[in-house]
Amino acid sequence: MRQGKYPFIVGFLAAPVLLYVVFVISPYIQAFYISLTDWKGISAAPRFIGLENFTRLFDDEVFWAAVRHHGVLLLVMPLVTIVIALFFAFLLNLSGGQRGGQMTGLWGSKVYRVIFFLPQVLAVAIVGVLFQTIYRSDETGVINSLLGKIGIDPVGWLIDPDIALLSIIGVMVWQAVGFYVVLFSAGMSSIPKDVFEAAALDGAGRFTLFFRITLPMLWDTMQVAWVYLGIAAFDAFALVQVLSVDRGGPDNSTTVLPLEIWRTAFNFSKFGYASAMGVALFFMAITFAALTLRVTRRERIEY
Amino acid sequence: MSKSAGTPGDITRRQMLRRIGMTALIAGPGAGLLTACATGGTTPAAPASAAPSASGAVSAANPFGVAADAPLEVVIFKGGLGDSYATEVHEPLYKKAFPQAQVKHVATQKIAQTLQPRFIGGDVPDMIANSGTDLMDNGALQQEGQLLELTELWDAPSIDDPSKKVRDMVAPGTVESGLIDGKPYLMNYVFSAYGLWYDSALFEKNGWTPPKTFDEFKAFAEKAKAAGVTPFAYAGKNAAYYAYWMILISAAKIEGNQILIDVDNLVDGVWQRDSMKQSAAAWAEIAKYMDKSFEDKEHTQVQLQQNQGKVALYPSGSWLENEQKAQTPETFKYALTPTPSVTAADKMPFEAIRAAAGEAYIVPAKGKNPKGGLEYLRIMLSKEGARGFTEKSGNITVVTGAADGLELTPGNASLSAAQTAAGQNIVTFSNFENWYKEFETELRRQTNALLFGRISADEFCEKVQKAADKTKADSSITKQNRTV
C-alpha cells in the first residue's frame, strides 16, 4: 500500500484539480486579459488597449460611488450582524444560568433558534421581493403602516438617498444574523464547561461571563465570521438589483460594484471595462481578507 | 423606442433565477463572471462569414434570390407584442412562398443572453426581433460587422405593388429611424405614438377635459387632486424614460424637431438651451402633484392605479392599451392626449404628437440565410403581413393603410384621431436611446432626481449636459450622427 500512495492520491486529485483549473482559474486569467481590451462581447477578437480601462476607472464617479458604498457596507454590515448574532447566541446558550452543571439558554431557546435561522433558508430574491412590500414608501408599506399607527409620517426607506443604502444593509443583516447565531452557538458550546463553572462559583454575573470569558474564547470564530461577512459586503448585487430604485438609485446612492459590472457588460456592451471593474473588485476583496486575518491575529487560547 | 413593447424592467421569475445564479458568479471577487461566455480569442472567426452559401435565382417574386429550400431561423422577443404574429402570420406566409424551407421559431424574453454566445460562436439566426429590456446593443453589433445593411430591402419591389419600392409603402421617417452610421440597419416596424393616456370614461364622469396648456394642466391638477386623483404619475423605479420622453417632446414643441436631432448628435449645450430648461421646469411643476412614493413603484403598479381610477394622466406610448388588456376594467376607455403647450410661442401646436417607428427587427450579416431574413422582413412589410400583425398584437405598423377597415379599440381609435389632428405636426424620434446607453442611464437618474424634487430644472439641464459631454469625449464610444 505504501509505495502506491502517491499515484493513488494524484489519481484521485487530478480530475477535481483539472475541473477547478478549467472552470475557476482559467476564467479568472481570461478576465485579467479581457480587462486590457476593448471587448464588446460580440466578436471573438478584442483589441488590446493596455491599461486604458484602469485609468478610466479613476475618473469614473459611479465606480467611486460604488467603492464608497462597499466601504459603508464593510463597516456597518459585519459589525451590526456580529453584535446582534453574539447577543442572541449568548441568550440562547449561556444566559439561562446553570442546570445540572450545564449552562443553559433562555426558556424556549430551541424555538428561537429555528426562527432566527429561517431567513437564511430563503433565497435572496424572495427576501428582496418581501422587503419591497415591507419598505414600500407610501402608507401601505408594512413598516410605514405601523409607523402610521403611532402618528409618524411615511418614511421613504428606499427613495431617500440618505437612508436607502442603510435600508438595504438592514435586509442583509436580517438575513445573515441567523447563520451567525448558529455559528457562534457552535463556538460557545465548544468552550469547556468548567471554565464557566469556575467563573460562576467566583460570583461572575452574565456580563462578566460574556465579556471576560465567552468573547475572548470565541475570537477564532469571530474572525471567520468577519471575513465571511466582509466578502458578503462585496456582493449585495441581488438585493440592490431588486430593491433599489432605478437599479442603484436614487441618485446612485445604493449602487455596488457587481451591479455596475453587470450593467457595464450587459447593458453598455463594454465587457473589457466591466472586467477591469471585476479585477479591481478582486483585489479589494483579497486585500480585505488578508488585512482582516492579519489585524485580528491573536494568540490561540488552548483548551 | 425599441424597448416599448416590453414592460420595462419587470423582473420575471426566470430572470430572477438567472440573476441569482449570476450573483453567485459575480459575488466575492467578480472577475470570473465576465469570461463565462468569453472565448479569449480562441474561437475561429465566425465560420458563417465564409460566404452566405444559400442563394437561388433572382426573379420578380424573389428579388433577393432566396434559396427555396434554405432553412430560416427566426428569433422573436416575446414581450408585450407576444409572438403569435410570427407563428401565425409571418412564418406561414414565408412557408407559403418557400414551401420547401424549414422555418425554425425561437421565442425568448432575454434576447441578449440567448443570442450573445451564439454571435461569438458564429452560429447566428437569420432574423431577430431585437427588443425588450435586455436587447442587444445594435450599435455594437453594427460596429462588429454583425448587421446586414437593409438598403436592398427598402429598395426592393413591394409585394403588394411591384411597381413601388418597399420604402414607399411605409410611414415617413421609418427608414431614417433605423439608420446607424448613416445607413439603414434596423427595420423599425411598430408605429407608436407617445403622449398622456387617460380614461375617457373617468374624465367624462368628472366633467374634465385634458389640459391644452401647462397653465390649464396646473388648474386641472388642482381639480383632480381635490377629487382624490393623482393628476399625473409615472413609475420611478423602472420607467423613468417614460417621463424623459415627455420632457423631450415638450422641448421639441417649443423649439422644433431640430433639438431632438441635436440631442442625438450630442451638440454642445443642447441640454442647456432655453427650450429644454422651460420644458424641464414645466414638468417639474406638474410632478409636484405626484406623491414621492411613486419613485419606488413599478410601471405595472402605477398602471394598475390608473386602471383603478387613482391616476389621471399617464405618460406612455401606444402599446399601453394592449399591454394592459388583461387588467383593464370593462368601463375603462383608453384615450391619448398630446402633451400640453408650454409657451404661447411654441413652434408646434398643441395637437402635435410624437409618432415614430419603433421595435427594431434585424438581419444578422453572418447568418446562414441572410437573403431569407431579408425576404422575411419584406413579407412583414406587406399589407397582409402588417394587417395580421395588427390583429395579433393590437399594434399598428409602419405599413401605411394596412390597418384600414380593421375595427379599432378605443385607444387605437383615439390614437388615429390624434394622428389626424396632428397632421404634419409630428415630433420625431430619438436615437440616443439606442446609440448611447450609458448616457441614457444617466438621463433616467437625473429625470427621477428632477421630478421627485431633489434637483432644480437648471441643475437637471447642467447634469444631463455634463453626461452628454462625457459621452462625446469618450473615445471608446462610437459617435453617430443623423441629419433628419
pTM, rounded to two decimals: 0.81
pLDDT, average across residues A210-221: 86
Distance between A15 CA and the closest CA of chain B, angstroms: 20
Beta bridge partners of B315: B196
Residue of B296, B308, B464 to mutate, interface with A, max A Cβ within 10 Å: B296
Window B:380-439, CB contacts with A under 8 Å: 437-438
C-alpha cell belonging to residue B458? 437648471
Query: In terms of CA atoms, which chain B residue is nearest residue A155?
Result: B293
Lowest mean pLDDT, pick from A51-65, A166-180, B22-36: B22-36
A34 contact residues in B (CB cutoff 8 A): 34-35, 38, 40
d(CA B83, CA B207): 40
**Residue partners of B232: CB distance under 8 A and separation at least 6:** B196, B217, B221, B286, B287, B289, B290, B311, B312, B313, B314, B315
What b-and-e string marks burial along A156-184, b requiring 16 or more CB atoms within 10 Å of the CB? bbbbbbebbbebbbbbbbbbbbbbbbbbb
Looking at residue A3, its pLDDT comes to: 67
d(CA B402, CA B411): 18
pLDDT, average across residues A235-251: 90
Give the Cβ contact number of residue B53 at 10 Å: 10
CA A188 to chain centre: 22
Contact yes or no for B444/B240 (Cβ under 8 A): yes
d(CA B195, CA B248): 11
Residue of B2, B34, B444 to mutate, interface with A, max A Cβ within 10 Å: B34
d(CA B170, CA B146): 25
**Chain position carrying cell 431577430:** B128
What b-and-e string marks burial along B310-337, b requiring 16 or more CB atoms within 10 Å of the CB? ebbbbbbbbbbbbbbeeebeeebbbbbb
User: What is the band of B28 on the pLDDT scale with cuts at 50, 70, 90?
Assistant: very low
Q: Tell me which range, A49-63, B162-176, B264-278, B395-409, is most confidently predicted by mean pLDDT.
A: B264-278
Contact yes or no for B335/B199 (Cβ under 8 A): yes
Question: A42, B237: Cβ pair inside 8 Å?
Answer: no
C-alpha cell belonging to residue B98? 418557400
C-alpha cell belonging to residue B90? 409571418
Give the Cβ contact number of residue B454 at 10 Å: 18
Least CB–CB distance from B445: residue in A135, A249, A269: A249
A24 contact residues in B (CB cutoff 8 A): 32
Looking at residue B17, its pLDDT comes to: 38
Looking at residue A104, its pLDDT comes to: 67
Mode of pairing for the β-strands spanning B72-77 and B127-129:
parallel
Looking at residue B177, its pLDDT comes to: 86
pLDDT 10s digits, B340-370: 999 999 999 999 999 888 889 999 999 999 9
C-alpha cell belonging to residue A40? 464588446
pLDDT 10s digits, A135-167: 998 888 899 999 999 988 888 899 999 999 999
Question: A237, B23: Cβ pair inside 8 Å?
Answer: yes
Question: CA A111 → CA A13, A92, A106, B230, distances in Å?
Answer: 43, 10, 11, 47
User: What is the band of B90 on the pLDDT scale with cuts at 50, 70, 90?
Assistant: very high
Of residues B469 and A92, more confidence is placed in B469
Distance between B438 CA and the closest CA of chain A, angstroms: 6
pLDDT 10s digits, B305-339: 999 999 999 999 888 888 888 889 989 999 999 99
Looking at residue A97, its pLDDT comes to: 62
pLDDT 10s digits, A22-44: 999 998 898 999 999 888 887 77
Residue B10 DSSP one-character state:
P
Q: What is the mean pLDDT of chain B?
A: 85
pLDDT, average across residues B218-235: 94
Question: B476, A38: Cβ pair inside 8 Å?
Answer: yes
**Chain position carrying cell 410570427:** B86
- The runs of H, that is alpha helices, within B288-435 are 299-307, 320-323, 370-380, 383-393, 410-422, 432-435
Looking at residue B415, its pLDDT comes to: 84
Nearest to A293 by CA among A235, A215, A227, A217: A227
Residue of A35, A43, A228 to mutate, interface with B, max B Cβ within 10 Å: A43
With H, G, I as helix, E, B as strand and everything else as coil, classify residue B121. helix
Phi and psi at A296, nearest 5°, equal -90, 5
Of residues A288 and A105, more confidence is placed in A288
* Total length of chain B: 484
* Assembly ipTM: 0.83
d(CA B32, CA B27): 10
Question: B29, A234: Cβ pair inside 8 Å?
Answer: yes
User: What is the band of A103 on the pLDDT scale with cuts at 50, 70, 90?
Assistant: low
Of residues A291 and B466, more confidence is placed in B466
Looking at residue B136, its pLDDT comes to: 85
d(CA B44, CA B153): 30
d(CA B35, CA B43): 13
Give the Cβ contact number of residue B129 at 10 Å: 28
pLDDT, average across residues A73-92: 92
Least CB–CB distance from B35: residue in A30, A137, A247: A30
Distance between B295 CA and the closest CA of chain A, angstroms: 6
